[in-house]
Amino acid sequence: MIPNEWYAVFEANKLGRKPVGIKRLGEELVLWRDAAGNAVGMVNRCPHRGAKLHLGTVSQGCIQCPYHGFLFDSRGACRYVPANGGERAIPKGLHAKAWPVREKHGLIWLFWGDAREHYPEIPWFPQAPEDDANSSQQSALYDFHYARAIENAMDAHHFPCIHGAIAPNCGFAVDPMEAEWDGEEIRVTAGLKRHMDEPDEDAVMFRMKFKFPNIFYVDLTDSVWLIQVATPVDEHTTWGFVRYYQRFVTLPKIGPLISGALMRFDAVLAQNVQDVPVFSTQTPHKPGLDAGYKLIKADRGIYYYLSERERRIKAAKEQQQAKAALEAEAAT
């Protein structure tokens, strides 16, 4: 997992007044809303005696432990210990870890990394409308490493092999093939032809854009496109979120139904039946440049992703080591 990045972890419209317990990024989390309605993300464990905080309620703008009623504010600080009657000082150590959280683009985002004065922008694509009445969305948990979903999204030349039954016009030949990484996003454009000598205008075009750490935008056709997120739950499980957009039917109430039907068709057939049984069995379990791959030109986008992912993980580790060294030096 890449540290010091914003990760989408939950749909905003599913977080109401009741706390929600989830697992993301290898952490048991509780999401809740404070008195102002702002989303809060904390460790789902009371520091007193380990009760799950998501089983509690929100009271006085704090989350209340279901076991003994301790109150914790949005920064994780304990504000009240009922057994002490509110008269004694709060014991040291009664602090629940909290992460920076933002609500944007209809999602709850958590910054998984070191606290800082200024945070980077939340990754998104300006092509995706903020409030599109013709869109539909859903999420699910999957039993594979999150990077597998990202690899798959950048892979155009698996379409005729795996999705040939639903995309009969796709050929095996990949031409044209363009992939670039500009430091902000990876862009892949690929044409699928039956023969290399076919004109480019006859190719079935595949276009996708990716932003780190885990969000991508795909043009399926001129009228259908999607935003997809693959967030690690842990090393073996992924939370997948997708939002479908379409513009060939824009009638009120009917537009989102069409988007929803396309989304469910894609999820059930193209992903669960066709994609997942194949890429969930790839070895090793976690992809990387050290996985023994023999990449070809059509995999250039995947190479950019794996190499930049590796660089970011290494850089974060080096920064953490340098920080620890400075702290150790200051302590002595």
- Exposure of 235 by Cβ count < 10 A (0-12 exposed, 13-18 middle, 19+ buried)? exposed
The mean pLDDT value for 47-57 works out to: 96
Helices 146-153 and 300-331 cross at an angle (nearest 10°) of 140
Query: For residues 110 and 100, what is the distance between their CA atoms, to the nearest angstrom?
Result: 6
Query: What does R_g of the chain's alpha carbons equal in angstroms?
Result: 23
Q: Are 235 and 113 in contact (CB under 8 A)?
A: no
Q: Which residues contact 265 (CB under 8 A, 6 or more apart)?
A: none
Residue located via tokens 């995999």: 299
Most confident of 21-25, 85-89, 159-163, 328-332: 21-25
- CA-CA-CA-CA torsion sign (173, 273, 271, 279): negative
Q: 244-273: buried (b, 16+ CB within 10 Å) or exposed (e) per residue?
A: bbbeeeeeeeebbebbbebbeebbeebbee
Q: What is the pLDDT of residue 323?
A: 86
Residue located via tokens 């970011």: 312
- Strand pairing of 101-104 and 215-219? unpaired
Q: Are 186 and 178 in contact (CB under 8 A)?
A: no
288-300 pLDDT, tens per residue?
999 999 999 999 9
Query: For residues 21 and 326, what is the distance between their CA atoms, to the nearest angstrom?
Result: 36
178-197 pLDDT, tens per residue?
999 999 999 999 999 998 88
Query: Residue 310: is its pLDDT beyond 80?
Result: yes
The mean pLDDT value for 267-289 works out to: 86
Q: Which residues contact 199 (CB under 8 A, 6 or more apart)?
A: none
Query: What domains can be seen in the chain, in order of their start residue?
Result: 5-112 (2.102.10.10), 136-309 (3.90.380.10)
pTM for the predicted model, two decimal places: 0.91
Q: Are 7 and 116 in contact (CB under 8 A)?
A: no
**pLDDT, the chain, mean:** 91
Query: For residues 175 and 37, what is the distance between their CA atoms, to the nearest angstrom?
Result: 50
The mean pLDDT value for 148-169 works out to: 88
Query: Residue 127: is its pLDDT beyond 90?
Result: no
Rounded to the nearest 5°, which phi and psi values hold at 204? -80, 115
Beta bridge partners of 180: 187
